[in-house]
Structure 1
Amino acid sequence: MPNARELQPLEVPPGTGALDVLPELRRALDGDGPALLPVPAGEPTAAAGLAGPLAPPEDDPADPTALVIATSGSTGAAKGVLLPASALRASAAATHRRLGGPGTWLLAMPAHHVAGVQVLVRALLAGTEPHAVDITGGFRPEGFTAAAGAALAAPGRHYTALVPTQLSRLLEAGGPALTALAGFDAVLLGGAATPPALLQRARAAGVRVTTTYGMSETSGGCVYDGVPLDIAEVRIDAEDDTGPILLAGPMRARGYRHRPDAAEFDGRWFRTGDLGRMRDDRLEVLGRADDVIISGGVNIAPLPVERVLTEQPGVRESCVLGVEDPEWGQVVVAAVVPDPAEPPRPEDLRAAVRERLGPAATPKRVEFLAELPLRGPGKPDRRGLAERFGGRST
């Protein structure tokens, strides 16, 4: 390509400052100017090695690459996800169709991640003025309440997007924060698996929660409450009912920066690396294939264990992982965030898992934490937790 378009870093401030990038984001969606590489403000080297001229397979004059989202996924290896303007637009339009039409959006998470930037994209395409929560000092219920008040004052429908940890904090705060949250026509919830108990609490409190499944490679969420958006296709690549999840549709990324032959992009399908199954025409995500624990020759998916744990009284959050063990190869361990007012007993948690999922899935060790360490947009830091457990079992 004689005049290759440039991929330029775009420093995105946190909170309300993220709204300052709207003009540049609009130009990128229109193909007018360079492609943009969103990075956290003050961290211009956060996506080192990704900026520069786009190679021919990475761009198309008829459908220019608008954004490149830097993501490490679950492997820790930096990747740049090439998102054409058409993919971002298709995703935003399909979201509005599913939710009941365009509306006013409230940004409550960092906009250099795909979930945050898509909030801004949806607002631009809806022609509405987005609002943002001040998260410069961290996400706080009072900050959400103030920003939500401004967003809810606009006419029409109202939407926001959260990760489970944010939803949990707003439910715990109650009062004005919960009232504001319940005022939205839809609250998209993604970034990490949502504990069923948290979902039940939210809906019982009048919050219109919609769980989402997707990733940077699919322009964000493309499966809502287990049902694909009208542009998305889901396939389970397995002879039986459980196996790798594949996704297809116009919201799919063009590929990875500097990786024209990435195996994840298989024809028109994207191989997610997640395991799932279909239940009553709904997708049930079982977690990352890389996270499967092999203990004594038995394969254990962490997510079903986490679901059992978070259904127990006194459990707010959990993260299950495997650590090395000389006898079993790996053993199951669990990090649990308890309710300080009514903490559960570890032996009761283990008994609940044993009854529902059997002995192999039962955690050999349960450790209580004040909060789970996180990385990215609300995902538990499994690597950090594994280091904390030190590879030992008890």
Structure 2
Amino acid sequence: MIPSYNKVHLKFKLNGVNYNQDDIREIAYSFVKEGLHYEEAIGDFLLDWLDNKSFIKVKSTGTTGKPKLIKIDKQVMVNSSIFTGNFFNLKPGDKALHCLPANFIAGKMMLVRAMILGLELDLTEPTSHPIFNTKTEYDFAAMLPIQLQNSLHDINNFKNIIVGSVKVSNKLIEAIQDKSTRVFETFGMTETATHIALRPLNNFESEQKTTSLGKSIFKTLPDISISQDDRGCLVIESGHLTKQPIVTNDLVKLYSEDEFEWLGRFDNVINSGGVKIFPETIEEKLQEKIKQRFFIASEKDETFGEKIILILEGDIDTVDNSIFDDLDKYEKPKKIYCAHKFDVISDKIQRKKILTKLGII
């Protein structure tokens, strides 16, 4: 039986202390009034969760446009928590670490999972280098790639880690291959109450399907149906998560009714001389060759319609052209721009905002 959103599991603990609903309200008020900045966000969410409304409003990260408020049913968040709990076999009393900002859905969902599943949740400031008790053995945590990178020396403290928000680099994937911790990359969005699919990054099973590049593919959680629209973008359906199908702008290759490979964002596809180019594919080829943050985009071209450009963070707009040797001819940037500082929300580069500031769009 799936629990209701207005119930808190009897075994739920926050920083080692058992709290019921009334207690949670008190600690939430305390966080809002006297807490640190990250605790204020946690307090605000807990008060929203315990009010008499059946929904909450969540701010999207605005990866391809302006951030917007999205209304999500609380019961949908409960259902998502159950799916995750079942996948990772999380049980009441299991320990979890909360190191994500509670302003966005991923951080909110860690709190919901703990309250619904009866987890013992430790809170820590959501910095790029999360600080936690290295003597504690955690059953579950959600991290950004940069947090995982900076926690590699203590990763064996965790049984399971999910990592998302931005794509995990090949270098980081290589670094976790000898770790006992099971690490999964997530696929999801605010509208689906975080992830609807996972792909293992290490500890592979022999029957795990892979892409042509040898990488594992995403597999959906139970009760998730996927298909493609006429653009080749992913369509998500789930009776427990969405009332209507969610049509995404994520271009995918379907391998089965519950397995897919993510190719890139439809918003970002570049058409240069009739050739469709996925910026994300080029970025993956360059990720180990460019030290600072960067992304691939396009600008108008009279001959080809669009031409590839490289946007670098910083004040130096030159690179060694040899880094482009492994790119196909049509993938090589024709021009390089630099932006002094990238606009970033929840570790996601705000491409359109940066391109607008540079006067490219």
Give your verdict on TM over 0.5: yes
Matched, 1:115 2:106: yes
Partners of 1:88 and 1:251 within 8 A in 2 = no
2:270–2:278 CA contact under 8 A, matched in 1: yes
1:322 counterpart residue number = 298
Cα distance in structure 2, aligned partners of 1:26 and 1:129: 18
The residue number in structure 2 matching 1:160 is 141
Match of 1:230 among 193, 202, 222: 222
Residue identity over aligned pairs, in percent, reads 21
1:215 corresponds to which of 189, 202, 207: 189
The aligned residue for residue 172 of structure 2 is 198
Give me the whole-angstrom Cα distance separating, in 1, the residues matched to 2:174 and 2:240. 30
Tell me the equivalent position of 1:179: 153
* 3-state SS of 1:194 partner: coil
Does the CA contact (< 8 Å) of 2:289 and 2:323 recur in 1? no
Alignment partners' CA distance in 2, 1:21 and 1:94:
25
Write the deviation string for residues 364-387 of structure 1: whole angstroms up to 9, x where unpaired: 2456889x7243222112124424
- 2:346 matched to 1:361? no
Contact 2:251 2:265 in 1 (8 A): yes
Residue correspondence of structure 1 range 53-68 to structure 2 within 5 A: 64-65=54-55, 67-68=56-57
State the alpha-carbon separation in 1 of the partners of residues 196 and 133 from structure 2: 25
Deviations 1:144-186 (A, max 9, x none): 13x253xx626xx522212223334x1xxxxxx4233331112
Question: 1:381 pairs with 347, 350, 357, which one?
Answer: 350
Matching of residue 69 in structure 1 with residue 58 in structure 2: yes
Q: CA separation in 1, counterparts of 2:220 and 2:271?
A: 31
1:95-124 Cα deviation digits (max 9, x unpaired): 111122243222222112111100111111
TM-score normalised by the chain length of structure 2:
0.73
| Partner Cα distance (2:164, 2:96) in 1 | 16
Return the offset for 1:132. Answer: 2.1
Q: Which TM-score applies when normalising by structure 1?
A: 0.67
Contact in 1 for aligned 2:140/2:160 (Cα 8 Å): yes
Residues 179, 250 of structure 1: alpha-carbon distance in 2 compared, 3 angstrom cutoff: farther
Query: Could you say if the C-alpha distance between residues 26 and 335 of structure 1 is closer, same or farther in structure 2, counting changes exceeding 3 Å?
Result: same
- Alpha-carbon distance in 2 for matches of 1:130, 1:118: 12
Q: How far apart, in 1, do the equivalents of 2:191 and 2:339 lie?
A: 32
CA distance in 2, matches of 1:211, 1:78: 23
Q: Distance between the aligned counterparts of 1:20 and 1:195, measured in 2?
A: 33
Shift, 1:209, TM fit: 1.9
Paired with 2:182 and 2:292, the residues of 1 have a C-alpha distance of: 20
Secondary structure of 1:115 counterpart: helix
RMSD of aligned alpha carbons: 3.2
Structure 2: any 5+ residue segments left out of the alignment?
Answer: 1-28, 200-217
1:348–1:279 distance in 2 versus 1, CA, 3 Å: farther
Q: Deviations over 1:23-60 (max 9, x none)?
A: 525525xxxx1x3xxxxxxxxxxxxxxxxxxxxxxxxx
